[in-house]
Structure 1
């Protein structure tokens, strides 16, 4: 299946594995790439040195194209861009809109730039700045998310820009790929579906928690960092939602203290990180501290397996996923489902009134 996405990135299938912090490491990314989709390495939780080593590890595992996800607001974003260029990475994706200068620097070096957006105006802005494509995530997606459903947001963005649009939020199978293509997308991006594969390094106990979840177990809360955050409802989420300000602050201070020991950040640096994460939002001090160490809350679950203490970002699709295929099995299945779905669609009747549809043919 050839689309504008496969032509732009050089992958065989119009599928993207999202750059999930602590999840999208070299093993998952290389398995995705080998299977013909676009694997995205998550770099926000890595130091620049760790990023370079991770990129080289992916390159040693596969000769297929892959990408790296960056935070455009990171203080060392330009250093990370240089690493991507120097290491010959094919695609740079961004969790926040990159500056015009960063886009230009990457494109001048032949790197494909694909920012993620959650609103039409953001897509229009990065398209005007030279982005090669955009990933548009609807409210069904995991992590920080918006309120507009994919089925409403996607056609808005497709109609607003003239670059390839990749749909994200609510996708897990071949039927979803066909639906996205029908809306005008060039492919789909999936996060939770790739998290729940045998190639994912997420601990088995955490995967079991995801598999056991129903659609109603996936919630959107502001209790963690003051921003809408879609995740599984866990003991931590319930605790924070029910805590008063004093109790929430005490809990955040304990979390921040643990984060400092691992990261080596000073209290002053931690507070600055939290204030930067506010993005002008009216957050309490507990939310500010939690915003600064949200990566460690994710690490507690995704690396250490502490489902009782960590954050488990999740798309709503967790409630309908029931197995742990390999990336190769998943991608083969999705593409086969897409082919059979397309074949089963009714065809326009020959002759007669326009717009009349016949049965499957």
Structure 2
């Protein structure tokens, strides 16, 4: 079964299903599997060095000839070089975690790339649309990782009313019912993170996947104690400790992990400070919050890569409480699309004269 939408036409994928660019999770294996199954896989580059991103793009291209995307941090020190890499390698979709510079949009579009920023408010959607973005991904408060306080059911229609470009809905989606509902709202597709994290192709350790599968609908919490910004994560002993600990204790552990992240990525302190300053975005953040922001990649890596849930943080959407299996990516996408098509096919029956 196939569903043709503005997203499938724009990107050239078979199904209107997007696998989001989750740091430490959305690597070449998961992205290529999504592409091969007919969806849009997005490679996460924020936790990669430039050399690692080059290698990851090459690996995805070695695994599939279908379209895929790369998620970029617009405020990264080498963002311009990464844009050049995407253009040089012919990456179909450039996804941005923060509003991209107008210059980046223009360069990518001139090269034939599709630019799809992630946004969290209608006013941000208007801005990037005016700058030439081809589509947007809008995530409601149900989503994992950094999130806002407005539910998808309200945020999505507000964005659809604000722009004329395709809108992809994220936050709270995991099955065909969600896809059918998103299309009924007027969205061009859905984007999912946690649901793709819990697939067989995901490289997250199996023991960690089981921790996700054991959670109910109250198994996540939005905390500011990870990096000073609202962050939806699984409720774990570490998160509970962070919530209850003093800011001085949190700052001490953040500084230690920031040093580990510096060694891992090869970034200099000057670069880390510059990127920390860039996270302000007009917000009144303290220096301790900026150090916490530098610490976040290490907390996520410990849990999602090393499997150390005692020392790591596990980003998760609320949908984790609805999930109880580990399908292959192909099984997942085909099931979602088939179920959505069946639901849509029944809708004419509710119409009466």
Residue in structure 2 matched with residue 54 of structure 1 by the alignment: 56
Shift in Å, 1:308? 1.2
- Superposed structure 1 runs of 4+ greater than 6 Å apart: none
Could you tell me how far apart the structure 1 residues matched to 2:351 and 2:191 are? 34
Contact 1:20 1:191 in 2 (8 A): yes
Contact 1:194 1:200 in 2 (8 A): yes
> What are the superposed Cα offsets for residues 47-83 of structure 1, whole Å, 9 maximum, x if unpaired?
1121111111101101111010001111111100000
Contact 2:35 2:67 in 1 (8 A): yes
Higher relative contact order, structure no. (Cα contacts within 8 Å, ≥ 6 residues apart)? 2
| TM-score where L is the length of structure 2 | 0.96
Could you tell me how far apart the structure 1 residues matched to 2:134 and 2:260 are? 40
Larger radius of gyration: 1
Q: Which moved more, 1:283-292 or 1:21-30?
A: 283-292
1:24 aligns with 2:43: no
Counting only pairs closer than 5 Å after superposition, residues 309-324 of structure 1 correspond to structure 2 as 309-324=311-326
Could you tell me how far apart the structure 1 residues matched to 2:329 and 2:71 are? 19
- Secondary structure at 1:114 match in 2: strand
- How many residue pairs get aligned? The number is 351
Any unmatched runs of 5+ in structure 2? none
**CA RMSD across the alignment:** 1.4
Residue in structure 2 matched with residue 205 of structure 1 by the alignment: 207
Shift in Å, 1:257? 3.0
| TM-score where L is the length of structure 1 | 0.94
Q: Which moved more, 1:206-215 or 1:286-295?
A: 286-295
Could you tell me how far apart the structure 2 residues matched to 1:45 and 1:7 are? 30
Q: Which moved more, 1:237-246 or 1:136-145?
A: 237-246
- Secondary structure at 1:347 match in 2: helix
Contact 2:213 2:321 in 1 (8 A): yes
Counting only pairs closer than 5 Å after superposition, residues 71-82 of structure 1 correspond to structure 2 as 71-82=73-84
- Secondary structure at 2:279 match in 1: helix
> What are the superposed Cα offsets for residues 78-105 of structure 1, whole Å, 9 maximum, x if unpaired?
1000000000111100000101111000
Shift in Å, 1:282? 3.3
Cα 1:253–1:58 change in 2 (3 A) is: same
1:275 aligns with 2:277: yes
